[in-house]
Amino acid sequence: MIRLLVACLVFAFLVGGVAKADDGYRLWLRYDALPSRMIAVYRPRVAAVGVTGNSPTLNAIRSELVNGLTGLLGSAVPVASDINRDGVVVVGTPRSSTLIARLRWETQLAQLGPEGFRIRSVKLGGHSVTVIASEGELGALYGSFHFLRLIQTLQPVNRLDITQKPRVQLRMLDHWDNLDGSVERGYAGRSLWNWSALPDTVDPRLLDYARANASIGINGSLLNNVNANAQILTGEYLRKVAAVADVFRPYGVRVFLSARFSAPMELGGLKTADPFDPVVAAWWKKKADEIFQLIPDFGGFVVKANSEGQPGPRTYNRTHVDGANMLAAALAPHNGLVIWRAFVYDMKPGYDRAGAAYENLQPFDGKFAANVLLQVKNGPIDFQPREPFHPLFGGMPATQLMPEFQITQEYLGFSNHLVFLASMWREVLDSDTYAKGPGSTVAKVADGSLDSQRLTGIAGVANTGSDRNWTGHHFLQANWYAFGRLAWNPDLPSRQIAGEWIGMTLTNEPKAAGTIARIMLESHEAVVDYMTPLGLHHIMWGGHHYGPAPWWDKEPRADWNPVYYHRADDRGLGFDRTASGSNTVGQYHPPVRDRFAKLSTCPEAFLLWFHHVPWEHRMKSGRILWDELALHYQRGVDWVRATRTEWDALAGVIDAERHGEVAKKLAIQERDAIWWRDACVLYFQTFSKRPLPAGVEKPARTLAEYKEKSLTW
């Protein structure tokens, strides 16, 4: 029955996509027939699929390969009962397939682990076949998706010898979804989880979500907002969560829940949530037992504590370690994890929010329990268009750290702006912490190789929702895809990821694909140019964060206001984080610290992040700071305009529906880029008191008009 359900749902996914082939629903799993001229060049020898066994995962593999290969090759690819012919694709494990067992690959497969895989062209029984093998069924699933990816992107598949395993163990999407169906920082419709219908009715779309995640190696999903509602831990909701977990399980996606630290009080009627109170610890242990009884492969808790008003251990004069380890003890008997978010900051005299997480957590290095991961945002502020890497990376060698990226574009134009985030994440992952000398990159912290970390993970705040195309903008599907690929291998080049996604999602036509790849790879720098050039940060409109408001000072906390971050005055611009200022630059290891701390050596991309720079400071271009700043804003606008023209020229290559929808988004992006440029240069001009340099267009409105209302989205 389960096999029939999976097959029917996969078929519905494919047929639904074909019925409205270019609405974006199929993501990168578009198994449309490749052009016959391309098949003639690559001549993939695929005659049949051989997957023996009857587990939910093996059945999913069989359905995926049959449907995918049949669609891509334009003719039926059947299930094989034997291999007495060339071109059979044999998939499985040594336990599920006697053919794979005959190859005696057990030692090699064991080294790759249950999620790793081997794809090899071999001779079996005198016939040329392709073997996709793994120690575990999930590895065979990942290998099958990789094989389909090779064909989708026109790679030769007749002489394969590929071995892969994930570099990071937990590769996880964080959904900031609320129980009422809304999504915090969500810009693509409502939540994917219909809590009111669950557990009796499970939306078939959840299987499509699981398939998409498995295709890029994502193996964890946090279902609820880190600003958690304790109700998610009630028996009623846990049964709903269990129904979701049942759908995800064949595809290797384990569910996680955000746990509200005060849940023992709100659900259990206790008078305290003090982690040192034995009654509180017993409540959490009983709750963990209940969860794992319903969901045996439950992943664990994600916790946002004592941050932005959320309850936590410091409410009771306990430490973050005290809170995390109490929860860890409750989950440890079930091999569950605690993912403790490092997004914590306090207001105090002389305070610099960029240094708060380090100050709060670094003293506890080595004191977290063995099943705790400390989840650290990529930068020290809050998912800004560009930030230096977080100083905790390389700063806590005895603690299990996992990076947290934001796929949803809270500070990057919501779902209206085309921004390929792989370039931004690549910049962070490649950053050298110098924790153990040169080469101590953030990527090596993430994969555990720098400090022999036993548990590793990486999280991305999801950008998915109920919109038909999942992400609100067709191009922003690429960021979901890129996150999965980088989580699997943090060293993958942005260009390779972009090329794969374009070939699988938009087109394999070389010239068009090259144009689109260049647009994607340039997009992040362009958005930084028209939003926050030269190290500016957090100058968005208060609350919703859409559009510019460098003048904003209405928030109840100083560090929620843009004026706190840019510190513009008649002398110059920027936040002094050197020894003469907050000295948070001192949280980095000496080679990094010294480079950032000196005005002469600080990369200009982070100049205003670390320095308050005089308006007349001479930049590397020979221009003064004011002119350079204004020209960056103009350059960002120019890029969007040029991109609109280039996209319009692709009308005959990209299907009309998606082409038209992207064109509308690019029009909004140009409007917004102009608004950003004009509002920012007008505001900062009130301090610099200098004219706009040649090449920068005159603003269309007055500063008063820009201050009057925010951009609409």
d(CA 356, CA 584): 9
697 is catalytic: no
For 573: left if phi > 0, alpha if psi spans -120 to 50, otherwise beta; the answer is beta
Q: Is beta strand 300-303 parallel, antiparallel or unpaired with respect to 254-258?
A: parallel
Question: DSSP states of 236-267 as a string?
Answer: HHHHHHHHHHHHHGGGT-EEEEE--TTHHHHT
pLDDT on residue 41: 81
Residue listed under structure tokens 């334009």: 74
pLDDT on residue 443: 98
Catalytic residue among 180, 308, 648, 705: 308
Helical spans, DSSP H, in 386-476: 422-429, 442-446
Catalytic residue among 404, 410, 525, 638: 410
- Residue 482 neighbours by CB under 8 Å, 6+ apart: 420, 421, 422, 425, 494, 497, 498, 501
Question: DSSP states of 581-638 as a string?
Answer: TT-GGGGS-HHHHHHHHSTTTS-GGGHHHH--EETT-B-TTSSBHHHHHHHHHHHHHH
Q: Report the DSSP beta bridge partners of residue 162.
A: 119
d(CA 177, CA 46): 42
pLDDT on residue 20: 37
The 10 Å Cβ neighbour count of residue 689 is 9
308 is catalytic: yes
d(CA 428, CA 433): 10
**CB-based contact 574:537 (threshold 8 Å):** no
d(CA 220, CA 459): 9
- Residue 68 neighbours by CB under 8 Å, 6+ apart: 29, 31, 148, 151
d(CA 640, CA 340): 39
d(CA 140, CA 251): 11
**CB-based contact 589:362 (threshold 8 Å):** no
d(CA 657, CA 651): 10
Q: Give mean pLDDT in consecutive 10-residue pieces for the chain, a chain of 713 residues.
A: 39 37 92 88 89 96 98 94 89 96 96 98 93 98 98 95 98 98 98 98 98 98 98 98 98 98 98 98 98 98 96 97 98 98 84 95 98 98 98 98 98 98 98 98 98 98 98 98 98 98 96 98 98 98 96 92 97 98 97 98 98 98 98 98 98 95 98 98 98 97 96 93
203 is catalytic: no
**CB-based contact 63:54 (threshold 8 Å):** no
Locate 689 and state its tokens: 């008191």
Catalytic residue among 64, 177, 382, 432: 382
pLDDT on residue 21: 55
What domains, with CATH codes, occur in the chain? Answer: 2-164 (3.30.379.10), 170-492 (3.20.20.80), 529-575+612-708 (3.90.1330.10)
Angle (CA) 6-79-22 rounded to 5° is: 55
Question: DSSP E strands: which ranges in 332-424?
Answer: 337-341, 372-377, 401-406
The 10 Å Cβ neighbour count of residue 227 is 15
pLDDT on residue 14: 40
Locate 631 and state its tokens: 């020209």
d(CA 33, CA 300): 41
- Residue 553 neighbours by CB under 8 Å, 6+ apart: 561, 562, 563
